[in-house]
Amino acid sequence: MNIQDQLAKKICSELNLDEEQYEIIRYGAFAIMQISLCIIAVAVFGLLFGVMLQALIVSFSTSILRQYSGGAHASRPGSCAVIGTAVSIGLALFVKYIGNFMNVNTMLIVESISFLIAFYIINKYAPVDSKAKPIKSEAKRKKMRKRSFLIATSYLVLSIVFLLLYQYTKNVNFYIFILDISGGMLFQIFSLTIIGRSVLAKIDQGLTRIMYRG
Strand ranges (E), 133-199: none
- Residue 73 main-chain phi, psi, to 5 deg: -125, 145
Q: pLDDT tens digits, residue range 61-96?
A: 999 999 999 987 777 878 888 999 999 999 999 999
What is the C-alpha to C-alpha distance for residues 169 and 28, in angstroms, rounded to an integer?
Answer: 42
Phi first, then psi: what are they for 202, rounded to 5°?
-70, -40
- Percent of the chain predicted with pLDDT > 90: 61
82 contact partners, CB below 8 Å, separation of at least 6: 207, 211
* Non-local CB neighbours of 103 within 8 Å, separated by 6+ positions: none
How does pLDDT run across 162-198, given as a tens digit for each residue?
Answer: 999 999 998 989 989 999 999 999 999 999 999 999 9
Among 112-121, 129-138, 140-149, 187-196, the range scoring the smallest mean pLDDT is 129-138
Please tell me the pTM assigned to this model: 0.90
Please name every residue paired with 128 in a beta bridge, in sequence order, or none if there are none. 70
